Structure formats: C-alpha cells, structure tokens
Amino acid sequence: GEAGKGFAVVAQEVRNLASRSAEAAKEIKNIVEIATSKANEGKAIANEMINGYTILNSKINETINLIEDVSRGSKEEEKGILQINDTINALDKATQSNASSAIDISRLASEVSNLSKNLLKIADRAKFNKINQKEIEDIDLVFTVSKLKNDHIKFKLLNLSKIATTKTAWSVTKPTECDLGKWLIEQERNAKHFTKTQNWKDLKTNHEIVHSSIQEYINEECKDSSNNEVLNSLAHKMDNAIFEVFKGLDQLKKDNLFEAKVEKNTLEITQNTTNEKTSKNDEWESF
C-alpha cells in the first residue's frame, strides 16, 4: 500500500546516490591519473636539467685543469729563467772583478749550460694543446674568464634551487649588475679592440638572454598552474644561451691575442718612423 510506495521512492533515491558515487569515483581516478602524469613530466624535466648541470660542471673542471697545468708550467719556466738570470749576473760580476779567474768563469759557464738544459727539459714537459694555445697566453684573462663562467653557473643554480622553497616570483640580478655585466662595461670603457667585434655583440646579447630566460622560467614556475612545455622550452633556451656565452668568452681570449699583436705592430711602425726621421735629420746636419 502507501508504505510500499514510500519504500520504493527511498530505494530509487539510494540507487541514484550509488550512481552519482560511482561517477564521482571515476572523476577522482581521472584527476589522480592526470596529477601522476604531470608529476612524471616534471620529474623528466628535472632529470634533463640535472644532466645539463653535470655536463657544464665537467666542462668547468676541464677548464680549471687546463689553467692549473698552464700555471704550473709557467711557474717552472719562471724558476728556470730566474736561475739562469742569477747565474749570468754572477758571471758578469766575476768577469769584471777578476778577469784572471778563468777557472771560476769556466765553472759558471758550465752552470749556465746545465741550467739552460734544465730549462729546455722543463719547456719540453710543459705540453699545451695547440688548438687552445692562443687562448692561454694572457693568464690574467684566462682566470677572469673562468671565474665569470663559474659565477653564471652558480647564478643559475641558486635561482633554480630557490624555486623549490617558494611559489612567489622574485627578480633576478640585472645583466648590467652581475660581475660579467660590470666587466663588459669596463672593457668598453677601456675601448678594448675585441669590443668592436661581432663576437662581442653576440656575447652581450646571449648574456642578456641568460638573465631574461631565468627570470621567465621563475615567473612560469611560480604560477598556480605552470605549463611544462613552456618550462621545458625555457630550460633549453637558458642552457643554450649559457653555452653561447661560454663560447663567446673563449673566442674573446683569441680576439685579445689579436689586439696585442696589432698594438705591437703599431709600436714597431712608430719606432721605425721615428728612427727614419732621426736618420734624415742626422744626414741634414752632416751636410
């Protein structure tokens, strides 16, 4: 009767609730699967970045080892040259003070010969890669470039590691305020020859891209719903810009050697011109 109708209504409601519960469970399952997929994509991007850091760190270590080898070879050669110079000075003093001491002169000459042989042995041991030889003639510039490279690796790592601690975006150091930016400004102020090359223009452009791409990556990562494709693209853009900056700095060392040769040739031309003028004046006075 009436009680049966009421029971049927209740049973229908129970079936409806069960159906909606099943649909909700499916939606929850889909959401969990999507979240898992996003997490795996993020993990893959992180692994790619870690591999990139490992490669860059390896290149830095190779550069440091090259610099250390050059430094050790230069110090050994310097010691040998100083020893030869001291021996020659002693020989000169002995000759001036006592010309009759032939035995002492012979002994000192023998020491000079031995030291010269030792210097040649040291020079033979200091082997450099012919391809990179031009890049290491200015030791101060080599160390400066190495430091600037390391600074930009640290700059990237520090900013990217900070992402894991906050979801609030921040402003990175401007390209003109980091050590490389200040160094670029200083070289232009000093009117260095290599600042007029295309490599210099490319170096400045790629340096700005490094800073801007890191800023863009931070802004995207700190969004409530970041886009993994955009992050992946920015990561590649960032690493490529850093690679180009490093390549530009290496080319700059070669350009710096060219500038030194130009200055040397200019000085020789000036000296030759001065000597010619002096010679003509002497001829006129003689006449």
pLDDT in tens, 146-155: 999 999 999 9
Pick 193 or 279 by higher pLDDT: 193
Asked, for residue 150, whether it belongs to a domain, the answer is yes
Asked, for residue 3, whether it belongs to a domain, the answer is no
Asked, for residue 108, whether it belongs to a domain, the answer is no
The answer to whether residues 262 and 194 touch, using CB atoms and an 8 Å cutoff, is: no
Structural domain boundaries, residue 164: 133-287
The answer to whether residues 76 and 126 touch, using CB atoms and an 8 Å cutoff, is: yes
Asked, for residue 24, whether it belongs to a domain, the answer is no
The answer to whether residues 193 and 259 touch, using CB atoms and an 8 Å cutoff, is: yes
Asked, for residue 206, whether it belongs to a domain, the answer is yes
Q: How many domains does the chain contain in total?
A: 1
Q: CA torsion angle for 204, 207, 212, 217 (degrees, to 10)? A: 160
pLDDT in tens, 28-75: 988 988 888 888 888 888 888 888 888 988 889 888 998 888 888 888
30, amino acid identity: N
The answer to whether residues 78 and 103 touch, using CB atoms and an 8 Å cutoff, is: no
Asked, for residue 260, whether it belongs to a domain, the answer is yes
pLDDT in tens, 207-259: 999 999 999 999 999 998 889 999 999 999 999 999 999 999 999 988 887 65
Closest CA to 195 of 204, 134, 179, 149: 204
Query: Rounded distance, CA 264 to CA 268, Å?
Result: 6
The answer to whether residues 200 and 171 touch, using CB atoms and an 8 Å cutoff, is: no
pTM of the model: 0.48
Asked, for residue 200, whether it belongs to a domain, the answer is yes
Asked, for residue 4, whether it belongs to a domain, the answer is no
